[in-house]
């Protein structure tokens, strides 16, 4: 099962934007929508090809409301995500798996801000909500050995590693 995770832009409520539009709602109707990180929509598909096809169906909305898209394919890695472009290249046999491991984007995973948990009038913190963690500032790195560099842009609880194409790593956008 391949997993897809769409990360919304800060100014958009991704779930609302996708489900308020008939075409996107129909494309997502057969999936169990999840929110592993704040302002994300994640689904499981039957294969890498199905994941790429779903993203192609949602492209109009992704261009407008998403800042990033990840695909996790267990036959490639159980712990590292693939960018949309890299997932499509692997599906189309344009790149080999061993070539797809060098360029990475590492996101920090942070707990929701304390300001998102309002305090009562007597300044006692309110109970924590079930709000998911946030993805913060991606760091681009090149894999040179087995170990990945430490995420050092801020203190975070965890990280999410996304394999990207060389063009994405260099700031170019593939067609």
On average, the pLDDT of the chain sits at: 88
Mean pLDDT over residues 111-136, rounded?
63
pLDDT number for residue 169? 86
Residue spans of the domains in the chain: they are 2-169
How far apart CA 91 and CA 159 sit, in angstroms, is 26
Alpha helices in the chain (DSSP H): 14-19, 22-28, 48-57, 59-65, 84-91, 166-169
Q: Which residues make beta-bridge pairs with 106?
A: 139, 161
pLDDT number for residue 116? 44
Q: Which residues make beta-bridge pairs with 68?
A: 7
Taking only the tens place, the pLDDT of each residue in 72-88 is: 999 999 999 999 999 99
Token pair for residue 25? Answer: 């709602």
Token pair for residue 27? Answer: 């494309």
Looking at per-residue confidence, does 138 or 172 come out higher? 138
């Amino acid at each position: 099962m391949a997993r897809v995770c769409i990360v919304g832009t800060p100014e958009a409520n991704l779930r609302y934007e996708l489900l308020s539009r008939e075409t996107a709602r129909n494309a997502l109707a057969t999936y169990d929508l999840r929110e592993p990180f704040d302002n994300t929509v994640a689904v499981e598909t039957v294969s890498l090809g199905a994941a790429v096809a779903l993203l192609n169906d949602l492209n109009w909305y992704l261009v407008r409301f998403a800042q990033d898209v990840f695909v996790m394919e267990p036959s490639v890695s159980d712990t590292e995500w693939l960018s949309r472009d890299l997932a499509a290249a692997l599906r189309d046999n344009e790149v080999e798996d061993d070539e797809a491991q060098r360029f990475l984007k590492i996101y920090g995973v942070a707990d929701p801000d304390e300001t998102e948990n309002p305090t009562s009038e007597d300044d006692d913190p309110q109970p924590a909500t079930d709000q998911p963690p946030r993805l913060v500032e991606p760091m681009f790195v090149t894999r040179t050995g087995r170990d990945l560099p430490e995420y050092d842009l801020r203190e975070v609880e965890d990280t999410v590693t996304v394999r990207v194409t060389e063009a994405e790593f260099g700031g170019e956008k593939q067609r």
